[in-house]
Structures are given as C-alpha cells and as structure tokens.
Structure 1
Amino acid sequence: MDSKERIETAAAFLLQAPPGEINDVLNDVRTIISDDELLQDGVYPALRDYNLAQFIVVEVPGVQHQAIISEAARAPESTEDGPERFVDPRSKSTYQFDHLTLEASDPQPVEVDSDSEPLRAALESSALKYIHAHFQEGVASVFSSTKANQYTIQIVSNKYNPTNYWSGRWRSEYLVNLSDNKIEGKILINVHYYEQGNVQLATTHTLNLKVPTAVVTAAPPASASKILALIEDAEGKYQSTLQGTYTTMSEKTYKNLRRALPLTRQKMDWDKVLGYRLGAELNSSKGMFSNSAATAAAAEDDE
C-alpha cells in the first residue's frame, strides 16, 4: 500500500471515529503512517469534515461559554486556502479555529443584522433554557441566514465516560423558515460501547414541523418560546420511541441472540475451563473405578 492509499485509509478511519475518541483514533493512525508531516497534510481535510459534521464545541477566548463548530457557523469571509473563521453569535464575534489542535484564537467583534437579531437572540435564549432543562452538558447556537426570516438552531450534547467504556453524542439541527411557516429538522445520535467488545449505535431522524401563523406574527420572545416548544415536543416523542425500541430489543431481539445458560444457571468461567475438564475426567474415572469394584465384589460372591 503506497502513501496515498494509507492516507485515504487513515482519513476513512477518522471520519468514523466515535464521540470523544478522535484523538485516540488519530494516535493509532499516526503509528501506522509514521510520518507526521504527511499525516497532517493528508488527514487535515478529513479532520475538518469530521469537526463540522459532529458539531465539535470549542472554548471561545474571552467568553464564558462554548460555541459550535459547523457549516452554519462558518464566517462569510472564510476561504478554503486561508485561515478558517467561525461565528459565535452569542458573543457577536468571530474566531479562528484549528481543526487539528481544536483550539480557537484571534476573536474579533462582528456586526449583526439589526433586522434578524431580535428574533435570533430570542431563539437563542429559548434554546439555552431548553438545553438547561434537558441536556446535562448541552451547547446551543442560533444563526441567522442571509435570507430573510430564516434561522438555524443547532444543539449538541456530549457525554464521555471512558471509565465505564462508553461515550455518546446527541446532535440536532433545525432550519426555521418563517416565510414558509415550517421547520425542517434532523436528530443524529451516536453511542459507543467498548467494554470487552465494540458496539456502535448511529441513528438519524428527520422531521418537518408546521409553524402556526400566530407564532410567526408574534413578538420575538413569544415566537421563539413557541418554536422551541415545538422542538421540545418533537424531540421528546423521538426519545420515547427510542426507549420503546431499546426495551423491545433488550427483551426480545438480544435475548434471542443469547445462548441459554447451562444447567448450573451460571456463566462459564473460561479461566477455569481446564479445571472443569479435569474435574469431569476425575468424576468419570471415579465412576469407572466404582463399577470395577462392584463387578469384582460380585465375582467373589459367586465363588
């Protein structure tokens, strides 16, 4: 396999990295490639795609909150060749982001659109209240579009528990189009369990919500509150559906895949399997000796 093929393979591995484990995958790939300069140049585009798709969060210098790295967050002045900058609408600033070190730098103030800002800020406030109530470690960002009456709401929540061998990420994105009275959304969930195995769950759920005209014409705070209520209801229903699916899988699907326990109703301890075999042989020999003794005693009686 030549260098190009190895880099392409490494990039494919990175794009499939479980939540919170991108550095572990990168370190493993680094060992395989054995050329840091080649690795950095070759996999940087894959790292960028991964960060944008996974809604990676970053600490913005000078503020007390995290921001989301995504396609919607890309600053208009960003170019493919030059330093890439992203918008943090909450602090009304842009910053430079390094996809390899996952660090933000050089924050700069940015002017906001005075027409869209009142509703955008109201949506942001309602989104923050929503994640505070439902996501333990959630981050939300709301972006206004260059098109009138269009906004993007993004939510991400990460939970990493390497001590118990699992990690997970919830992502949801909603394109709010008040001109058409609709919301187009998607929910993406990734969970990785890797204790004595390697199991990944990846789900994608799309939805379309109708926004009542009364909500569109309401004042920004009231409109934003109703829009987030619609999102809350949709996500709540999806979580209930997932819970029902998991219960069914646990009680039926996985149960059918499992091998029944032995008569002892205990799992086999494979570290002691040789001992089990030796015990069985001893019991067999004991029975054979007993039968031989009984036969000999019967023969003496006949004499």
Structure 2
Amino acid sequence: MSADKALGSFIESAPPGELADVTKAIKSILENDNVDAKLAPAFQQYNEEQFTTTKLPGGATEVLVSKHNSLGDGRYYDVETQSSFDFDHATGKASAVQSFVLESQHEHLVKSLVKSLATHTSEHYPKSSHGVFPTADDSSLAILTVANKYSPANYWNGRWRSSYIYNPSSSSLAGSVKVDVHYYEDGNVRLLTNKEVSLSGVSERDVIRQIATAEKKYQEDLNKAFAQLSEGAFKSLRRQLPITRQKIEWEKISGYNLGRDIGGGRR
C-alpha cells in the first residue's frame, strides 16, 4: 500500500465528529502541516459517504454533502434552500452560494418527498439533515437522512445515516441504515451497523411512511439487542469481581461508567 493510500485509509475510517482530530494526528506523526493536498481525495470520499453537513453562509439550517447532490468541481446543491454552494472538504466550510433551480422529470415528486421527509425527521430525530435528489440518469430519487450527536466532553460521538433509492417506475425502494458510535473513555469501543432495506410495490405517497416504519423497527431492534447485552456479552467480557472487588449489578449496567465503575479507572 502506498503512503497516500495509507493516509487516506485513516481519514476514511475516522469516527463521527473526529475527522479534524484524525487529520491533526496525521500531521503530528508526519511532522508536516502541508499534507491537505495529498489527503484531498480521501476528504471528499469521507464527506460524501458520511453525508457531512455544513451551514450555508447566512443560513441557520445545515445542508448535507453527498455524491447524489454533487455538481462536480467541489460544488453541491440543496433542494429546500434552492441554492448551490462550494464546499471545502478539508475545512468543512461552504461558500459562494448561488440560487439553484432543479431540473428533473420528477421535480414535483422531489419537492413532495422533501416536505414529507422533513416532517418525519423532525418527529424522530432531535437534530438531523436530509435531502431528496434525482440520480444521475434522472430515473430514480435518492432519499438521504443524517443525524449526528457529538459529546466529546463525555468521550463519545455518534451518527445515524439512512440512504434509499426510490424508482417511481418500478415502485421499488432499496437502501440501508448505518449507525456509527464511538465511545473512548479509558478504552476504545466502536459500534458499526448496516441494515439493508428492500421493498417493492411502494407508491409515491407511501414512500416516507415505509421509510419511517423500517427505521422505527430498526431502532427497536437495536434497543432490544442492547438490553440483552447485560445478560450475555457483557458478563462474558469480564470476571465476576473487577478490580474494585465489588460485584457488578448487571441489571444496572446501563447506568455504569465504562471506564471508572467497571474497569476501575483512575477517574
């Protein structure tokens, strides 16, 4: 593997909200602050795959960046704000905002789905960004949602991403839901999940409802899996008596501090 590819792999695997930290670490290791040009392709791939969000100058809401709303040459567009913008993949900043008019045979459907998707995300996510964009051949629509929650003071960051392709001609809806959570207090634990979704016979008016149903079920499945960890995997990970010499109350596992209470950390 070449040096550039090795550096790029570090960028592409950066946990949510920690891209700047990973970049800083790379520069420190190389003792070189001028590697942004080499990392540019990796920055772009990371931002587009992770649905990185950015605020437009003078705007209050955050719009997302993806391959589906790319205009090429580092420029992207947003349907709701009817604008296009330049995006600096290294700094995460948007600039040069201009008005943008969507040209698509599905223009009315795009606007309808954006409105319904906005309602869905506001009901189910404390803070999120979303978008609906025609695919390159204008035959289908990409429906994207990203919800980030960063808490570095408490040593964790997380991201929810959902991406679907809806084909109006075949009434098919296919995509995936990805969850990425990193917890790093006195340890390094990362959750990476990928749930595939594939549905047929989905009418245009039923698209967002089907997405909401699939995502609700997945959230419930994750909650059940976490609840089962206390009686299964968590018990097998550690001895009955940790360093503190006190038995762990497994029914209260969700309230423990991973590093301090279970591992006997310094804090």
CA distance in 2 between counterparts of 1:270 and 1:140 reads 40
How far did residue 239 of structure 1 move?
Answer: 1.2
Residue 189 (structure 2) aligns with: 199
Residue 74 (structure 1) aligns with: 70
How far did residue 147 of structure 1 move?
Answer: 4.3
Please tell me the residue identity of whatever aligns with 1:261: L
Q: Is the 8 A contact 2:83 2:99 kept in 1?
A: yes
Whichever of the two has the greater Rg, that structure is 1
CA distance in 2 between counterparts of 1:190 and 1:268 reads 23
RMSD over aligned CA atoms reads: 2.3
Q: Does 1:256 align with 2:236?
A: yes
How far did residue 145 of structure 1 move?
Answer: 3.3
Q: Does 1:156 align with 2:173?
A: no
Q: Does 1:103 align with 2:99?
A: no
More helix by share: 1
Moved over 6 A (4+): 267-271
How far did residue 110 of structure 1 move?
Answer: 2.2
- Paired residue secondary structure (2:67): coil
1:21-43 Cα shifts (integer Å, max 9, x gaps): 11011111111112223x11211
1:209-249 Cα shifts (integer Å, max 9, x gaps): 1234xx34xxxxxx1xx211110100111111111112222
Q: TM (normalized to structure 1)?
A: 0.77
Residue pairs, 1:1-303, within 5 angstroms: 5=3, 7-37=4-34, 39-75=35-71, 78=72, 83-113=73-103, 115-145=105-135, 147=137, 150-212=140-202, 215-216=203-204, 223=205, 226-261=206-241, 265=246
Q: Is the 8 A contact 1:63 1:91 kept in 2?
A: no
How far did residue 270 of structure 1 move?
Answer: 8.3
How far did residue 115 of structure 1 move?
Answer: 4.0
Q: Is the 8 A contact 2:56 2:63 kept in 1?
A: yes
Q: TM (normalized to structure 2)?
A: 0.87
1:172-222 Cα shifts (integer Å, max 9, x gaps): 01101110111001111100000100011111111111234xx34xxxxxx
CA distance in 1 between counterparts of 2:263 and 2:232 reads 23
Q: Is the 8 A contact 2:141 2:165 kept in 1?
A: yes
Q: Is the 8 A contact 2:146 2:161 kept in 1?
A: yes
The count of corresponding residues between Structure 1 and Structure 2 is 251
1:56-100 Cα shifts (integer Å, max 9, x gaps): 00112343321111010101xx2xxxx411011112221111101
Q: Is the 8 A contact 1:178 1:211 kept in 2?
A: no
CA distance in 1 between counterparts of 2:45 and 2:213 reads 31
How far did residue 250 of structure 1 move?
Answer: 2.3
Structure 2: segments with no counterpart, 5+ residues: 248-261
